[in-house]
Amino acid sequence: MIKKDRAKFILNKLNEIYPETPIPLNHSNHFELLISVLLSAQCTDERVNQVTPKLFSLANNPKSMAVIPTIKIQNIIKPCGLSKTKANNISLLSQILVKNHNCQVPSNFKDLENLPGVGHKTASVVMSQGFGYPAFPVDTHIHRLAQRWGLTQGKNVVQTENDLKKLFPENQWNKLHLQFIFYGRGHCTARGCDGTICEICKTCYPLRKKPFKSKKS
């Protein structure tokens, strides 16, 4: 099976398994989404969803968050890990949104990526899930799947993102990003599938006998 055929099969299979792709991070506005995505770094979505109700009950907008003592934010988000750094970033970006963006989350990559703690992946998630802009956020898990499925030989998430965008229709990117995540969690996990077990791996590479070793980003 050539790469183009693998991509077509994967797209059809993921649409079959996951016709609906609810956003896994609970939020009620763009600011809550931005903060939730920031907190999800090296943390599960489930843990983030357990923590954010308490945080957002205190402040769910930049103006309110900007005046909360950083230590108070840190104590609330401690279960998410890296709490000191994340708390500082939440406080600083809130102040910047108040001062420079009229308390609004920017709807463009440049301004988002200039915010403290917001890299390209976080900005891509906000742009796609918050504003509906075509984007294909790639984290280490999507990078791993794309390699297992022969969709990229990229050595980092940037290369992998570019390869995936070339393979799949732009109007499918936002949905595919979530479908990759759901399938990676439910069927093709880092430890549960070595590239020879799940349906997609077996279909794409029926003759693969040895475990596939991904190149870490």
How confident is the model at residue 12, as a pLDDT? 97
Tokens of 66: 């900007």
3-state secondary structure of 68: coil
- C-alpha 123/C-alpha 135 separation (Å) is 9
Contact 121, 29 (CB under 8 A): no
How confident is the model at residue 216, as a pLDDT? 66
Going from the N-terminus, what domains does the chain have, and what CATH number goes with each?
A: 3-20+136-204 (1.10.1670.10), 30-130 (1.10.340.30)
How confident is the model at residue 214, as a pLDDT? 75
Contact 212, 190 (CB under 8 A): no
Which residues are CB-contacts of 54 (< 8 A; sequence separation ≥ 6)?
Answer: 76
3-state secondary structure of 145: helix
The total number of residues shown for the chain amounts to 217
pTM of the model: 0.90
| CA of residue 208 relative to chain centroid, distance | 29
Q: For residue 56, which of 71, 76, 85 has the smallest C-alpha distance?
A: 76
Tokens of 91: 């406080």
pLDDT tens track, the chain, 217 positions: 899 999 999 999 999 999 999 999 999 999 999 999 999 998 999 999 999 999 999 999 999 999 999 999 999 999 999 999 999 999 999 999 999 999 999 999 999 999 999 999 999 999 999 999 999 999 888 999 999 999 998 888 899 999 999 999 999 999 999 999 999 999 999 888 989 999 999 999 999 888 888 776 5
How confident is the model at residue 209, as a pLDDT? 87
- C-alpha 116/C-alpha 89 separation (Å) is 5
Tokens of 69: 């003592």
- C-alpha 51/C-alpha 166 separation (Å) is 37
Name the amino acid, one letter, at 103. C
Contact 208, 198 (CB under 8 A): no
Q: Which residue numbers are catalytic?
A: 121, 139
How confident is the model at residue 215, as a pLDDT? 72
Sign of CA dihedral 92, 94, 95, 97: positive
How confident is the model at residue 103, as a pLDDT? 97
